[in-house]
């Protein structure tokens, strides 16, 4: 059974179409990351699932029950969908424990035990008596998660939930969140515009653009064999080199490479900087144009004889001065992805 199922969902704001005939199925317990530029419709999708917006067409199901569609409408409070917001959205006038208990049946003796259990789950066992404003941003997000998990929802939606945290804290809170979700067995849908977050969190990644899905796949596949050039550049740094393909190989300026999908003719292949290697070589035909220091590594920009440029990530121990001649190769470990030229 699907935790969440969208079928042909469309949502318009006036003349803008935020979601255009979108379908997606999230399995029970599955974690899916929705990634895309701002305004691509990813937050709209979450709000439709939560019941905070009404779709113009299509149906939305949660836990096998149709919650929005022609003639059907289940109000948000009856959907069993948890939401964690970017601003945490803790009730400012309630203590942490009352925030967590908000979604639990009231007045039961078991309530206090459940709250304690949830606060322990998110690793904040002693903060129940505090008010939200007395917590740090990361603590607030974890309370928000505990609160969302309290009514045992079928799915928890995360709307840029880690976006307000600074980068060091972000991955810690994110990992704790994923661990807690796994423990409860709830499905999770993470909306983010951060590609590394999407790849790290999702068992599947859905790349969105202008209200449609460009590619829905497992992270490694989405990263190494993106469906479109847009997905390719959204999920990581990518350069495109022209080449001539024949079956499963392609001839490019940097040599003959294994390629997918099979085909023939003029193509462009995607190269990610970590796949491009080079060595200082006075007889090499390529030159180092510039390099960018990133702490642990250098990103070299190389110019090929045709004038095309590719980037290469190298450890900081590889020290080649701009202007040097180099020989360029590719070590991808998998067939590189080709796209029809000019597409």
Residues in contact with other proteins by CB under 8 A are 47, 50-54, 72-83, 85-87, 89-93, 102-103, 144, 147-148, 150-151, 153, 159
Residue 98 parent element (H or E)? helix 96-101
By C-beta, is 99 or 314 nearer to other proteins? 99
Name the nearest CA neighbour of 291 among 282, 283, 301. Answer: 301
Q: Name the β-bridge partners of 24.
A: 6
The least distance separating other proteins from the CB of residue 238, rounded to whole angstroms, comes to 32
The least distance separating other proteins from the CB of residue 45, rounded to whole angstroms, comes to 14
By C-beta, is 115 or 332 nearer to other proteins? 115
The least distance separating other proteins from the CB of residue 147, rounded to whole angstroms, comes to 7
By C-beta, is 72 or 112 nearer to other proteins? 72
By C-beta, is 34 or 50 nearer to other proteins? 50
Contact criterion met (CB below 8 Å) for 25 and 5: yes
Q: Cis omega before residue 229 (within 30°)?
A: no
From residue 309, give the alpha-carbon distance in Å to each of 211, 291, 301.
32, 13, 7
Residue 201 parent element (H or E)? helix 195-201
By C-beta, is 163 or 242 nearer to other proteins? 163
The least distance separating other proteins from the CB of residue 88, rounded to whole angstroms, comes to 8
The least distance separating other proteins from the CB of residue 38, rounded to whole angstroms, comes to 13
- Work out the widest C-alpha separation in the chain, in whole angstroms: 80
Phi, psi of 223 (to 5 degrees): -80, -45
Phi, psi of 117 (to 5 degrees): -60, -45
By C-beta, is 155 or 198 nearer to other proteins? 155
The least distance separating other proteins from the CB of residue 198, rounded to whole angstroms, comes to 21
Q: Name the β-bridge partners of 302.
A: 288, 310
By C-beta, is 85 or 190 nearer to other proteins? 85
C-alpha to C-alpha distance for 41 and 53, rounded to whole angstroms: 12
What share of residues in the chain are helix, strand, coil (percent, to 5)? 25, 40, 35
Query: Please, which residues have CB within 8 angstroms of residue 144's CB and are 6 or more apart in sequence?
Result: 84, 85, 88, 89, 90, 161
The least distance separating other proteins from the CB of residue 113, rounded to whole angstroms, comes to 18
């Amino acid at each position: 059974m699907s935790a969440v199922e969208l079928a042909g969902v469309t949502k318009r704001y006036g003349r803008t179409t935020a979601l255009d005939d979108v379908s997606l199925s999230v399995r029970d317990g599955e974690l899916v990351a929705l990634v895309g530029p701002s305004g691509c419709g990813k937050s709209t999708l979450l709000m439709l699932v939560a019941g905070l917006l009404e779709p113009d067409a299509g149906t939305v199901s949660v836990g096998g029950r149709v919650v929005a569609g022609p003639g059907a409408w289940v109000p948000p409070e009856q959907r069993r969908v948890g939401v964690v917001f970017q601003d945490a959205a803790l009730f400012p006038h309630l203590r942490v424990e009352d925030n967590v208990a908000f979604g639990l049946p009231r007045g039961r003796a078991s309530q206090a035990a459940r709250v304690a259990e949830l606060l322990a789950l998110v690793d904040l066992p002693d903060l129940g008596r505090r008010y939200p404003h007395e917590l740090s941003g990361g603590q607030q997000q974890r309370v928000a998660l505990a609160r969302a998990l309290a009514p045992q929802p079928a799915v928890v939606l995360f709307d840029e939930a880690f976006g307000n945290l600074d980068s060091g804290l972000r991955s810690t809170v994110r990992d704790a969140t994923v661990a807690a979700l796994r423990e409860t067995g709830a499905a999770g849908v993470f909306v983010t515009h951060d590609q590394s977050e999407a790849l790290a969190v999702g068992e599947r990644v859905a790349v969105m653009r202008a209200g449609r899905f460009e590619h829905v796949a497992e992270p490694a596949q989405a990263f190494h064999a993106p469906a479109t050039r847009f997905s390719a550049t959204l999920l990581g740094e990518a350069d495109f080199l022209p080449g001539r393909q024949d079956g499963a190989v392609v001839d490019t300026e940097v040599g003959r490479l294994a390629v997918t999908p099979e085909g023939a003719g003029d193509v462009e292949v995607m190269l990610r900087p970590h796949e491009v290697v080079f060595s200082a070589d006075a007889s090499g035909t390529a030159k180092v144009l510039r390099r960018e220091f990133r702490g642990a590594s250098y990103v070299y920009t190389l110019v090929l004889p045709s004038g095309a440029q590719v980037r290469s990530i190298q450890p900081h121990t590889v020290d080649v001065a701009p202007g040097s001649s180099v020989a360029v190769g590719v070590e991808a470990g998998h067939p590189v992805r080709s796209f029809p030229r000019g597409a």
